[in-house]
């Protein structure tokens, strides 16, 4: 039991700290790079795996906070398993799933269809209210302060600034 005048030093990231997502990302990045993945030059949260001999792209991993989305060859799957050995993953969803509001469906011919139909259908539950130049969004019983957005008025497009 600690006394009121004692202080602890945190040796690594802890859930709930403001820097925890960044620290997790840096740990994940180190793990991916140790397995041969390289960050995409277009998005630092996307990692590409090239075959060490042929140089061909074998797969890609995209990270979003504590979720990931990936696709790739058998070679890629083996590296992904090595990553899972380092960081045990939660659920694994394949072929048909929802990721950050996107419905992703892999077809029998391996083509991929992506839509936001459910997200759009759920959107009608939101109501927008303007009060003293502040926009509030309600969903169910929760009230959120909204970011600036545009909406279509009868006389044209209006900008509501928050």
The CA radius of gyration of the chain, in Å to the nearest whole number, is: 22
Long-range CB contacts (< 8 A, 24+ apart) of 122-126? none
Assign 3-class secondary structure to the chain. CCCCCCCCCCCCCCCCCCCHHHHHHHHHHHHHHHCCEEECCCCCCEEEEECCCCCCEEEEEEEECCEEEEEECHHHHHHHHHHHHHCCCCCCCCCEEEECCEEEEECCCCCEEEECHHHHHHHCCEEEEEECCEEEEEECCEEEECCCEEEEECCEEEEECC
Query: In whole angstroms, what is the distance from residue 110 CA to residue 138 CA?
Result: 40
Among 39-43, 137-141, 145-149, which stretch is predicted with the lowest mean pLDDT?
A: 145-149
Question: Mean of the per-residue pLDDT values for the chain?
Answer: 77
Question: 12-40 pLDDT, tens per residue?
Answer: 666 667 777 888 889 999 999 999 999 99
Tokens of 109: 């011919």
Question: 110-133 pLDDT, tens per residue?
Answer: 888 888 877 776 655 555 555 545
pLDDT at residue 10 above 50? yes
Confidence of residue 57 (pLDDT cuts 50, 70, 90): very high
């Amino acid at each position: 039991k600690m006394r009121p005048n004692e202080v602890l030093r945190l040796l690594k990231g802890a859930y709930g700290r403001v820097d925890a997502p960044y620290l997790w990302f840096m740990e994940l990045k180190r793990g991916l790079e140790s397995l041969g993945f390289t960050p995409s030059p277009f998005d630092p949260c996307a990692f590409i795996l090239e075959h060490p001999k042929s140089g061909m792209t074998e797969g890609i991993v995209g990270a979003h906070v504590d979720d990931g989305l990936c696709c790739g060859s058998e070679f890629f799957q083996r590296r992904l398993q090595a990553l899972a050995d380092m960081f045990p993953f939660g659920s694994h969803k394949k072929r048909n799933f929802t990721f950050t509001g996107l419905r992703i469906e892999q077809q029998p011919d391996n083509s991929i269809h992506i839509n936001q139909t459910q997200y759009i259908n759920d959107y009608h539950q939101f109501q927008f209210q303007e009060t003293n130049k502040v926009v509030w969004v309600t969903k169910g019983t929760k009230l959120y302060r909204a970011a600036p957005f545009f909406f279509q008025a009868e006389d044209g497009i209006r900008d509501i600034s928050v």
